[in-house]
Homo-oligomer: A and B are copies of this chain.
Amino acid sequence: VNRLTSRSILTSEEEGAILGLDGHLEQVAMHKDFVSQGERVGYSCLVASGLVGRFGQNKDGTRQITCPYIPGDMADLPSVVSSRSGWGLTALAPTTLLQLSHSDLRRLAATYSGIAEAFWRDCVADGSIFSEWIVKLGRRGATARIAHLLCEMAVRYERSGQGELLSFTLPMTQAQLAEATGMTNVHLNRVLRELRLGEIVTVRSGEVIVHDWQQLVALGEFNKAFLMLDEPSPRILVGAL
């Protein structure tokens, strides 16, 4: 739960306050949209297990996944400050959510400036990741997009202690990977085959095995700085207490 500390430094009192929150546990079946675009929500979802995807949808029904959230992530922290959600959330796999009410989170942020700051910083990190995705989708080819996504997920799973850099579980179907990389499942499948035959990475039924990390990073022009996971930032709102 205290994954926030990977980007921000909190006092033990603040950590305690967070751990003291209680929320509502919810099981969500795969492919179930539990928040839809434009809906007004009163809680944020901490992913407990499974995988959540933030997405936008076109009129013709095609979807673009804008960000995957792994266990430990807050899937819609931004909604704390803007309760009308501008996006949808879907379960990419069977998922367990911990719903935390906005009022509780707001009270926490109002009481502990360090927590407010950590929330703010997490939203900025979200934005940083989005920004990188825009570059990826706007200017890079199919192979680079896939390589980049796999690198990103590898680092995120590793940093959260849920997998190794070269071997981790990514419970997404090929159709979902295609929705995240802005391409067709057919073409994605072909590119995955190339990567497999090239001895670079194998993606098989939710398991990712990286054979050549260096080459994968090079193909995706991946630089993990944008994840803002390098070192927790010292607190900046010093005077507020």
Contacts and interface: CB of A to CB of B under 8 A. Distances in A.
Interface stretch (A20-28, A62-70, A197-205): A62-70
Contact of A38 (B59, B137, B225, B228): B225
How many copies the complex holds: the figure is 2
Interface in A89-123: 102, 106-107, 109-111, 113, 116-117, 119-121, 123
B66 A135 contact: yes
A164 to B, nearest CB: 25
A101 to B, nearest CB: 12
A114 to B, nearest CB: 11
Given A130-B134, A131-B87, A233 B82 contact: yes
A86 B161 CA distance: 24
Interface in A36-74: 38, 54-59, 62-64, 66-67
A186 to B, nearest CB: 15
A187 interface: no
Contacts of A117: 81
A110 B240 contact: yes
A110 B239 contact: yes
A236 B124 contact: no
Given A56-B131, A130-B134, A134-B133, A116 B240 contact: yes
B131 A54 contact: yes
Interface of A: 38, 54-59, 62-64, 66-67, 78, 80-82, 84, 86-87, 102, 106-107, 109-111, 113, 116-117, 119-121, 123-128, 130-135, 137-140, 181-182, 221, 225-226, 228, 233, 236-240
